[in-house]
Structure 1
Amino acid sequence: MKKTLMAVAVSSAVLAGCANNSADDTVASAQNTQVKNVILMIGDGMGPQQVGLLEEYVRRAPQSELERQTALSKLANEGRLGLSLNAPHGPHGKLVVDSACSATQLATGVAAGSEMIGLDYQGNVVETILEKAKKAGKATGLVSDTRITHATPAAFASHQPHRSFEANIAAELIESGNVDVMLSGGARVFLPSDIKKDSADQQVMADLGAPKSVYKKSKRKDDRNLVVEAKSQHGYALAFDKTQLNAASSDKLLGLFANSGMDDGIAYSACKRDDSCTQPSLREMTLKALDVLSKDEDGFFLMIEGGQIDWAGHANDAGWMLHELLKFDEAVDAVYEWVKERNDTLVIVTADHETGSFGFSYSRKNTPTAKTLPGAGMKGNDYKPNFNFGDLAHLDRLYNQSGTFYDMLNAASPDWNFDEASAKDWQEAINQFSDYKVTLDQAASVGEREENTYYQADHKYQSAKVVPQFDDFKEFYVYADEDHTAKIGRALAADQNVVWGTGTHTAAPVPVYAFGPAGLTEQFSTMQHHVEVGQKMIKALGLN
């Protein structure tokens, strides 16, 4: 604890106590341009279109039993709302961003390049807001439902030439000591390369309380066990499931709850219904991080990512995406409840980019039949719109989806040998999980494949010689066999009143929700860029 900061805090408290006047408190809040804490929440892939899906479901889904207001709406109603561009900036800038570049620009307030982590556009290491906060004596945390070494969390506490260097990112996160609380999936890059075969290493993990699902395989190429190093050399308490997380009391905490990504939103919704979840939810990880970090009297910086919104968007899977948005909004609600009576914290909720070019759309399929309306203004004419504008029942039917499109891929061909998957295989797989059913002909189109006209022998994805066949926008479906998910999306699209434009990202501006002292939040109610958002957050903590 810094004596100078304590003196300032005491003086401020005395002055506030002397005023004891709500009008004076309002003025003070309006004039406050610096806070003790910043909480940044990133809905990865959550553009305005995705927010629209969430809001429509919560507000108007006929069968929803949720409170008819999202936590995002609470922030918007009581705070400020703006938009932010997010493309790579700098002399070598591009039009469309990836998560690594976008998160780097948010974390540093400096222009970055595609797929780099914690570097400026020329490749120089740039100190992040998290690292600045740590240097200033504040507590720090990263929370994600993907992997702690995935692009978004990594960009706040690591510096690597490419986002794929996750094994290096894991080592950097542990060795630097800059992050006090890390809660996510991704154990596979913390474990020694032979964990799958070495019974001694497996016993070590079992003795630490990790379930086999967490240490089932490794993505490292060496024999380092960073989980053990985190505990023995760097003082981290460990957690591998919800029970262990709840029991943890240390001010340094590493929670790794999955070998790779954590449970998807549909699986979470299912286990939540019967109270059988063993992994903590994004909300529960958020609450734990707030509990630990808020004990630091100097304040904290916390980044929370709802990362699988993006994964669902890449898959062109509207049902899964809805569940991810609801899961993220639960975490936003936890933050809102924690911060709503405070005046020392700035909350920013935004996205790194939009994924999928998603939207509800009207169509010529199932056009309405004529009906008589009672209003005199109809003057004897029937009401018969020219197009199908989408029934609210779609909201419930999307929510009723019982598995992701990846679950459907696994059911159609457990070994992903899609050259051998039949139309019947696809039909049964899709209809098993979707509330919308496909015909045999529609299922056959999902399995159509073609020679890869963009073949590159040394490319991570384009080394595939055969890929799913797209009749439109095939250049924007870049993930080879994984893109059979988008073929499912197309087979279901007309019945869902849903359209998708890409399997990757778009350059759409994304929303920025700002909640906290008015003197800070008003600056976010504008059209800005993520570089500027990063600069504003750094300034709000007094770190510039």
Structure 2
Amino acid sequence: MIFKKIGVLFTSLLLLVSCASVKEKTTQTSLDSNKTKPKNIILLIGDGMGLSQISASYYYNDSTPSFDRFETIGLIKTSSASELITDSASSATAYATGISTYNGAVGVNVDTIAVKTIIEHLIPRNISTGIISTSSVVHATPASFYAHVKSRRLYDDIASFLPDSNLDFIAGGGSQFFDNRKDMRDIFKELKNKGYEVHKNTLPFEASEKKQAIILAPDGMPKMLEGRGDFLPNTTKLALEKLSKNDNGFFLLVEGSQIDWAGHSNEADYLISELLDFDKTIGVALDFAKNNPETLVLVTADHETGGFTLAQDGKDYNKIKPVFSTGGHSATLIPIFAKGPGEDNFKGIFKNTVLFDKLMSLYGIN
């Protein structure tokens, strides 16, 4: 009888421990689930940045690269609908809209029909948005997030989308496409009429309550080697200051454009200087996320440019020689780095169109 009572007591204790364990696991699962949805997403695109370009930050940096701060890494397949090797427009459109399209397409499908971008999905939901680029803001990558044209070369047409885009923050070059146009439109004036604070000469010291358009060069911004300075990290800080005022969250696109241009021209010093500037900007985003833990930081590229390699110099295994194999793009898989709530969604290998689906899911949009 005593043994029977001990057995019943033991069974009861087991059930109690089991229930507590289940409750703990359920609570933990619930907590983990809450952590998987970010309020803010910062997407940094190093145009033309493949694995060798990223590796250069480890060999030519005076400090530990920002890439070292990531633990979650995946790979992206980049082929377009028309070609095995994508261009920036097609790949950026895949990121922005979730559809695979032809090379040169900006925000349109293979039939040149406009497809809604992630920014156009977010703005009606009162989520703040911004784009920053070291190229002109009407260049292929940033344009694919707010414009819809059949060819990336239609710069005047792309600029015409900006006044009605409702972007909260715009920064980069491209003033020649805003005024003195053949159609006599003054995009700067139209931006002002839409409530934008326009800056054409210098970067403002602080964020404004108004929407901001900062266009500081006729076309692309100057190279780092020509004294561009901290334009990219500083505009990123300014954008984060502004966009983070929205309790509903934000989406910020930051493009390090000229890594690609250096790859096309096969200029190693140019490439490395642009890459290090981009790495510094990644650090700004990660520092913000550290202080604002509801923020997810993603770093990737649209494609690799130049077939860039860090090779041994002759027979010297202690000396690196940057080498290019092409003046165009390559078909190599592109790394994606993720840090913050929802980062586990970016493990593995996936098509560039899937990035859009993952972003939309994290924002809770079907």
2:278 maps to 1:328: yes
Aligned-partner Cα distance in 1 for 2:41–2:108: 22
Q: TM-score, normalised by structure 1?
A: 0.60
1:340 alignment counterpart: 290
| Paired residues of 1:144 and 1:307 also in contact (CA < 8 A) | yes
1:266 to 210, 222, 225: 225
Q: Is the 8 A contact 1:29 1:343 kept in 2?
A: no
Q: What pairs up with 1:216-227 in 2 under 5 angstroms?
A: 220-227=181-188
Provide the residue aligned with 2:84 in structure 1: 95
Aligned partner of 2:322 in structure 1 is 498
1:348 Cα offset (Å): 1.1
* 1:251 maps onto 2:73 in alignment: no
Q: Which residue of 1 aligns with 2:137?
A: 148
Shift of 1:225: 1.3
- Secondary structure of residue in 2 paired with 1:362: strand
Which residue, 174, 179, 188 being the options, matches 2:167? Answer: 179
Q: Which secondary structure does the structure 2 equivalent of 1:503 belong to?
A: coil
- Aligned pair partner of 1:355 in 305, 313, 317: 305
Which residue matches 2:46? 43
Partner of 2:353: 531
SS for the counterpart of 1:539 is helix
Cα distance change of structure 1 residues 146 and 113 upon mapping to structure 2, 3 Å threshold: same
Q: Rate the CA distance shift 1:348–1:390 in 2: closer, same or farther, 3 A.
A: same
Flag the structure with more relative contact order, 1 or 2, with Cα contacts below 8 A and sequence separation at least 6: 2
How far apart, in 2, do the equivalents of 1:165 and 1:122 lie? 17
Equivalent position SS for 2:335: strand
SS in 1 for 2:43: strand
Q: Which amino acid in 1 is paired with 2:231?
A: S
- How far did 1:27 drift? 6.9
Q: Which residue of 2 aligns with 1:313?
A: 263
Shift of 1:262: 0.5
1:121 Cα deviation after fit: 2.4
1:389 is displaced (CA, Å) by 2.8
Deviation of residue 40 (structure 1)?
A: 0.6
Match of 2:340 among 508, 513, 516: 516
SS at match of 2:356: helix
**Alignment-mate amino acid for residue 227 of structure 1:** F
Name the residue aligned to 1:132: 121
Instruction: Choose which of 283, 289, 298 in structure 1 pairs with 2:233.
Output: 283
Task: Give the counterpart of 1:238 among 170, 194, 198.
Answer: 198
Deviation per residue, 1:120-139 (Å, 9 max, x gap): 22322111111111011111
Mapped to 2, the partners of 1:498 and 1:40 lie a distance apart of 28
Paired letter, 1:230: L
Unaligned runs of 5+ in 1: 1-23, 59-65, 193-219, 273-279, 366-386, 395-496
Q: Does 1:32 align with 2:39?
A: no
- Report the CA distance between 1:247 and its aligned residue: 4.4
Of Structure 1 and Structure 2, the greater strand share is in 2
Write out the 4+ residue segments of structure 1 that deviate beyond 4 Å after TM superposition: 24-27
1:170·1:189 contact (CA, 8 Å) conserved in 2? yes
Contact 1:360 1:499 in 2 (8 A): yes
SS in 2 for 1:173: coil
1:370-519 alignment to 2 at 5 Å? 387-391=315-319, 497-517=321-341
Residue 541 of structure 1 corresponds to: 363
Distance 1:515 1:187, change over 3 A: same
- Take 1:153 and 1:187, find their aligned partners in 2: how far apart are those partners? 15
Give unpaired runs (5+ residues) of structure 2.
Answer: 1-26
Contact 2:207/2:241 (<8 A) preserved:
no
Matched residue count: 342
Cα distance in 2 between the residues matched to 1:144 and 1:241: 16
* Local SS of the residue matching 1:340: helix
Distance 1:359 1:314 in 2: 14
1:82 corresponds to 2:74: yes
Counterpart code for 1:261? G
Shift of 1:248: 4.9
Quote the Cα distance in structure 2 between the aligned partners of 1:177 and 1:84.
28
Root-mean-square deviation over aligned CA pairs = 2.0
For the Cα contact (< 8 Å) 1:145–1:261, is it kept in 2?
yes
The answer (yes or no) to whether the contact 1:143–1:305 under 8 Å persists in 2 is yes
Residues 53 and 36 from structure 1, CA distance in 2 versus in 1: closer, same or farther, beyond 3 angstroms? same
Contact 2:78–2:91, Cα closer than 8 Å, also in 1: yes
Identity across aligned pairs (percent)? Answer: 34
How far off its partner does 1:305 sit? 0.2
Code of the residue aligned with 2:51 in structure 1: it is P
* Cα distance change of structure 1 residues 33 and 121 upon mapping to structure 2, 3 Å threshold: farther
Per-residue CA shift, 1:280-330, capped at 9, x if unaligned?
A: 610001011111111111111110000000000001001110100011111
Work out whether residues 356 and 506 of structure 1, in 8 Å CA contact, stay in contact via their aligned partners in 2: yes
In the alignment, the residues of structure 1 paired with residue 338 and residue 110 of structure 2 have an alpha-carbon distance, to the nearest angstrom, of 27
Aligned partners of 1:312 and 1:320 also within 8 Å:
yes
